Amino acid sequence: MRVQVQSRLAYNFAEPTETIAVVLAAHASGQTIESEKLAYSNGVRLSESVDPVSGGRLLRGRLDGPFWIEYSAIVRLAPRLELPAALQVAPWSQLPVGVLPYLLPSRYCPVDQFLRFAQRQFGHIAPGGARVLAILDWLHENLDYCHGVSTGTTSASETFIDRAGVCRDFTHLGITLCRAAGVPARAVSAYALHLDPPDFHAVFEVFLDGGWWLVDPTRLAPIGGMVRIAHGRDAADIAFLTTAGPVRQTDMRVTVTEIAPPSLVKPSYNTDTVEEAA
């Protein structure tokens, strides 16, 4: 599948503020960036570097006053499989060392508070894919998707009580329950095809049978149409904008559209050419 991604963010900084923007599609297995274009406010200088842990392509700078940034890309996505129930969790001693942090509590995923609930609710289900699928079903049955009930400081504890939230909240509670149930899980930011209304999306991945598997706990967008931006322990690691101080957002637009593959587009030009030649 090929998708075209477009995003535009605009902010107003009241004073010079250290800032990191992470909006570029990641160079990751399963997705190929065919072309991309980045533009931002005149006079600003952002430095780009890749975070080897998050996979994110960081744009860093000290921003002041009004600022806008626009990104567009055409990305070819390899097909993604739905999570098979039969996948297994490896013993901790056989997990890659880099996977271990995704078993631990993090800012918005207080795993340490959920051990008893996870054991009670999911402990009887075979550890692995089946258990993760049970967690996803539980989220679907027990959470309402709605705006306005959570904020940027809402953690999985609050969502667990409040039983409602947005993609960020579903993802935090999903990650928390997976980790508490023994499955490594990490947050992923993505551009998502068919997400309505379009927005930056937060989903998560679980580590089973030696690989990371992507799932969308909100069930709002197909996993096959997601363009990965970055991953991390939770929203703190994958925010599309991190600033050292307060800032006011003045615009945010995201568009993700499926586009025909080059091989299918080409013939129509050929036909045109033939007609012209006639």
Binders of its own copies among residues 121 to 150 (CB under 8 A) are: 142, 144
The contact mask relative to its own copies for 254-273 (x = CB under 8 A, - = no) is --------------------
Min separation Cβ 127 and its own copies, Å? 10
CA angle 259, 9, 44 (to 5 degrees): 115
DSSP state of 223: G
Choosing from 84, 92, 209, 271, the residue that interacts with its own copies (CB under 8 A) is 92
* Separation between Cα atoms, residue 11 and residue 25, nearest integer Å: 21
DSSP state of 157: H
Which pair of tokens denotes residue 35?
Answer: 């072309």
Choosing from 41, 68, 182, 247, the residue that interacts with its own copies (CB under 8 A) is 182
The number of residues making up the chain comes to: 278
- Among 23-31, 74-82, 198-206, 232-240, the segment contacting its own copies (CB under 8 A): 232-240
CA angle 52, 177, 79 (to 5 degrees): 55
Does residue 106 interact with its own copies by CB under 8 A?
yes
- DSSP E strands in 179-218: the ranges are 185-192, 200-208, 211-215
Reference 212, options 106, 83, 125, 97; nearest CA is: 83
Does residue 248 interact with its own copies by CB under 8 A?
no
Reference 234, options 175, 160, 153, 149; nearest CA is: 175
Binders of its own copies among residues 42 to 71 (CB under 8 A) are: 46-47, 49-53, 58, 60-62
Rank residues 34 and 112 by Cβ distance to its own copies and give the closer one: 112
Give the interface with its own copies as residue ranges (CB under 8 A).
Answer: 18-20, 46-47, 49-53, 58, 60-62, 91-93, 97-98, 100-101, 103-107, 109-110, 112-117, 119-120, 142, 144, 152-153, 157-158, 160-164, 182, 233, 236-237, 242, 244-246
